[in-house]
Amino acid sequence: MVSIRREEPGDRAAVHHVNERAFGRATEANLVDALRAADKALLSLVAVRDNQVIGHILFSPVTIGPGDENFRAAGLAPMAVLPEFQRQGVGSLLIETGLDECRRAGIEGLVVLGHPNYYPRFGFVPASRYGIKCEFGVADEAFMAMELREGAFRNREGTVKYQPEFDQF
């Protein structure tokens, strides 16, 4: 059975390993370490099976445009599942739990940069629908947004800025 819980200090090496294996490079694993070290991880969840960390998801605060500093938005990135456990619903469990926790924490909206055939099933739509752009040059359909509070992205047009740690990798 797979369970989802918050990352704990003892999980750090395992979380690094999961990201490195899933992406086949150290970039995302190092980004996770940098965000954690800078206390920028709004929410970090792990998927555990037989006491082994097999998946991970992280949310960090983002700003949209020059707008309201009090508006609480977050970016989902990165997320990773060990290759041998992919396509078994672990990623879906991580996202669904993450959405619930973010909503409970008062996050009003989320953005994600990723597979356009994966994230819409959780409620993400192209961010361009809200006039929201990505600071990184990416294909329109790969940058998606989701309101956690209805109407949250109304009149929030602008460019999303991730934490500066994202620029280093």
Ligand X SMILES: CC(C)(COP(=O)(O)OP(=O)(O)OC[C@H]1O[C@@H](n2cnc3c(N)ncnc32)[C@H](O)[C@@H]1OP(=O)(O)O)[C@@H](O)C(=O)NCCC(=O)NCCS
Please say which residue, 91 or 109, places its beta carbon nearer to ligand X: 91
Q: Say how far apart CA 15 and CA 75 lie, in whole Å.
A: 18
Q: Say how far apart CA 113 and CA 3 lie, in whole Å.
A: 25
Minimum CB separation from ligand X for residue 66, in Å?
27
Please say which residue, 70 or 117, places its beta carbon nearer to ligand X: 117
Minimum CB separation from ligand X for residue 151, in Å?
27
Please say which residue, 85 or 153, places its beta carbon nearer to ligand X: 85
Q: Say how far apart CA 108 and CA 156 lie, in whole Å.
A: 12
Q: Say how far apart CA 42 and CA 128 lie, in whole Å.
A: 24
Residues that bind ligand X (CB under 6 A): 22-23, 77-81, 86-92, 114-115, 117-118
Minimum CB separation from ligand X for residue 47, in Å?
8
Q: How far apart are the first and last CA of the chain?
A: 34
Q: Say how far apart CA 104 and CA 131 lie, in whole Å.
A: 26
Please say which residue, 130 or 166, places its beta carbon nearer to ligand X: 166
Please say which residue, 88 or 159, places its beta carbon nearer to ligand X: 88
Residue nearest to ligand X (CB): 91
| Phi, psi at 154, each rounded to 5° | -65, 130
Minimum CB separation from ligand X for residue 27, in Å?
11
- Give one word for 112, left, alpha or beta, with left for phi > 0 and alpha for psi -120 to 50: beta
Tokens of 113: 């940069």
Minimum CB separation from ligand X for residue 83, in Å?
7
